[in-house]
Amino acid sequence: MKIPIYQIDAFTSDQFRGNPAAVCPLKAWIKDDLMQKIAAENNLSETAFFVKKDNGYELRWFTPEDEVDLCGHATLAAAYVICTYLDENISDITFHTQSGILEVFKNGSLFTLVFPSREGEKCDPPEALVKGLGKAPKEVYLSRDYMAVYETEQDILSLDLNMDELKKLDGLGVIVTAKGNKVDFVSRFFVPKAGINEDPVTGSAHCTLIPYWKKVLNKTDLEALQLSERGGKLYCVDSGETVKISGEAVAYLEGHINI
């Protein structure tokens, strides 16, 4: 069996930046354990698999260790593959996922993801969080992930990280964020329990970041940077129950997996 595979750099227009995701279009679903093995073999933060369904696509995401319920950059990458290689005339894509129906709209080179808002609830900072980040944040919130808020961009660039401590937390990952110097806000994202110490650019984390910064900055349209080594830029809109996350993508690799 040959499975098509594409590697797409998401939330960037330049190769070797943004967040790389593998995308595997399938004619029918294969076994879960095989998808997990493929994701582990790819050793990227996410591998997306999709199957065409009626007027949309069923979509699933796997890290090297687990299936996840929501992933932004791999959704953008899947939409890029569909629009570029499978149906050049399509501009509106509907994905059926564990997190419900997700829509992606293409306008020129920009892809806009419509995702559920996941506003965090303020909480006390767990001991493992403070030890894992090496510096106490000014505020902590919890949704799917913990979100630690710091005063400055430099604060989150200079964290003294301990991934063993972050693995002890009950949330999936840890978002750190601060007001940006040149954009509205900046962030980083760590998911060591899913085999990803630092994710380069994370769409799903912005489901929590966007409603927070909307309230703090009192604006609905926001520009964001994720300050990983590869880096990525996101254009964000808070729409109440949903958030819109826009970015570009560029292809790196086309091929086939031999099973």
C-beta separation of 49 from 37 below 8 A = no
Rounded CA-CA distance 64/58 in Å is 20
67 is catalytic: no
**Cα separation, 259 vs 251, whole angstroms:** 23
Tell which residue, 111, 103, 26, has the closest CA to residue 62. 26
DSSP 192: G
Helix, strand and coil percent figures for the chain, each rounded to 5: 20, 40, 35
Catalytic residue, candidates 41, 46, 88, 223: 46
Strands 249-258 and 242-247: unpaired
Is 129 strand, coil or helix?
Answer: helix
**Gap between the Cα atoms of 80 and 112, Å rounded:** 11
Q: Please list the active-site residues.
A: 46
